Amino acid sequence: MKKNLGPLPAVCPMPVLMIGTYDENGKVDVMNAAWGQICDTDKIYISLSDDHKTVLNFLKTKAFTVGLADVDHLSEADWFGTVSGNDTEDKFERTGMHAVESEFVKAPVIEEFPLTMECELIRVLETDGVYAVMGKIVNVKAEESILNAEGKVDITKANLTLFDQFGNAYYRIGDKLANAWEVWAEKFG
């Protein structure tokens, strides 16, 4: 029997998304966004409350990056989600991480995160103090060490983290179960 739990953010797990922007002085700002997802082959959607410094930054620059946090940098990713750039001026510097400017958009690529999407801001929908942000992915940058023999990203090599909003916990990506668009044949083929 199922139990009613009321309205909850029940899509689980979620990727741990590191949103990188520059402020008005060209200073790096990074935040951990718990809610976001791919919404087309070249678009990403992120949901952010309107009080984040990151929101002000990308509204000015019209650009941002989305790095995927890995297990090796989980402490830094959690820091970026806990500490506000509005209150802690040296938030990024205190992590000891490194950033370079994207070749494609006016936003920082955090070198330590193994996979980064470089995005142009294409749409913002504001509702009830929340911004629904859509970005066009103009490039994806990946560490060569996480690519397979065909040059595609191997998520098991990337050692990426996931966020569980039911338990407020981080997890590591697990075992491969099957190939998509093929597993049905075992049962229904």
Domain ranges of the chain: 14-188
State pTM to two decimals: 0.93
CATH architecture for the domain at 14-188: Roll (2.30)
Q: What dihedral angle (degrees, nearest 10) is formed by the CA atoms of 81, 124, 26, 76?
A: 10
**Contact present, 14 and 106 (Cβ < 8 Å):** no
pLDDT of residue 150: 96
pLDDT of residue 136: 98
pLDDT of residue 121: 97
C-alpha closest to that of 37 among 17, 56, 51: 17
pLDDT one digit per residue (tens) for the chain, 189 residues: 999 989 888 888 889 999 999 999 999 999 999 889 999 999 999 999 888 889 899 999 999 999 999 999 999 999 999 998 889 989 999 999 999 999 999 999 999 999 999 999 999 999 888 889 999 999 999 999 999 999 999 999 999 999 998 999 999 988 888 889 998 988 897
